[in-house]
A and B are shown apart, each in its own frame.
Chain A
Amino acid sequence: MALVTYVEHDGARHEVDVPVGDTVMQGAVNNLVDGIVAECGGGLACATCHCYVDEAWAGKTGTPSTVETEMLEAAAADVKPTSRLSCQITVTAELAGLIVHLPATQF
Chain B
Amino acid sequence: MDTNAPIQIPSHVPPELVRKLGITESAEFLASPHKFMAALHETQPPIVFSYGDHSPPAWNLLKYEDAYFVLRHPEFFTTEGTGPFPRDPNDYWKIIPLEIEPPDHRKYRALVDPLVSPKAVLALEVSIRAFANELIDNFIDKGECEFAKEFGRPLPVGVFLDLMALPRDMMDEFVRWAMGLLHAQDRVIAGQVMAEVTQYLNKVIAEKRGVLDGGMVSAIVNGRPGGEEMSARETFGFLFFVWIAGLDTVFATLNNIFVWLAENPERRQEIIDTPDNINNVVEELLRVFTVTFSGRTVRDDIELRGIKMKKGDKITSILPACNYDPDAFPNPAEVNFHRPRKPVLTFAGGAHSCLGAHLARLEVKICIQEFLRRIPNFTIKPGAKIEYWPGGVVGPKDVPLAW
Contact = CB atoms under 8 A, between A and B. Distances in A.
Given A39-B351, A45-B347, 16 more contacts: A39-B349, A40-B357, A41-B113, A43-B357, A43-B358, A44-B341, A46-B343, A67-B279, A67-B341, A70-B340, A70-B342, A71-B341, A73-B340, A73-B342, A74-B342, A107-B68
A47 interface: yes
B55 interface: no
B118 A74 contact: no
A74 B353 CA distance: 17
Contacts, number: 44
A42 B118 contact: yes
A31 to B, nearest CB: 13
Contacts of A40: 343, 353, 357-358
B117 interface: yes
A42 B353 contact: no
Contacts of A42: 117-119
Given A46-B349, A107-B72, A41 B118 contact: yes
A74 B349 CA distance: 13
A46 B341 contact: no
Nearest to B339: A70
Contacts of B357: 40, 43, 45
Contacts of B344: 45
Q: How large is the interface on A (under 10, 10 to 19, 20 to 34, 35 or more residues)?
A: 10 to 19
A29 to B, nearest CB: 9
16 contacts: A39-B350, A39-B353, A40-B353, A41-B117, A41-B358, A42-B117, A42-B118, A43-B357, A44-B118, A46-B353, A67-B279, A67-B341, A70-B341, A71-B343, A74-B342, A107-B72
Interface of A: 39-47, 67, 70-71, 73-74, 107
Given A39-B350, A43-B118, A46-B349, A71 B342 contact: yes
Tell me what chain A mostly uses at the interface: helix, strand, loop, or mixed: loop
Tell me which of A39, A40, A74 has the highest count of chain B C-beta atoms within 10 A of its own C-beta: A39
A46 to B, nearest CB: 5
A74 B117 contact: no
A30 to B, nearest CB: 9
A107 to B, nearest CB: 5
Contacts of A45: 283, 343-344, 347, 357
A47 B68 CA distance: 13
Contacts of A46: 343, 349, 353
Interface string B67-79: 0100010000000
Contacts of B343: 40, 45-47, 71, 74
A45 B360 CA distance: 13
A45 B117 CA distance: 12
Contacts of B351: 39
Contacts of B342: 70-71, 73-74
Contacts of A41: 113, 117-118, 358
Interface in B303-345: 340-344
A64 to B, nearest CB: 12
Contacts of A39: 349-351, 353
Interface in B156-190: none
Interface string B346-380: 01011101000110010000000000000000000
A41 B351 CA distance: 11
A33 to B, nearest CB: 13
A89 to B, nearest CB: 15
A41 B353 CA distance: 10
Contacts of B68: 107
Contacts of A70: 340-342
Nearest to A107: B72
Nearest to A71: B341
A54 B353 CA distance: 30
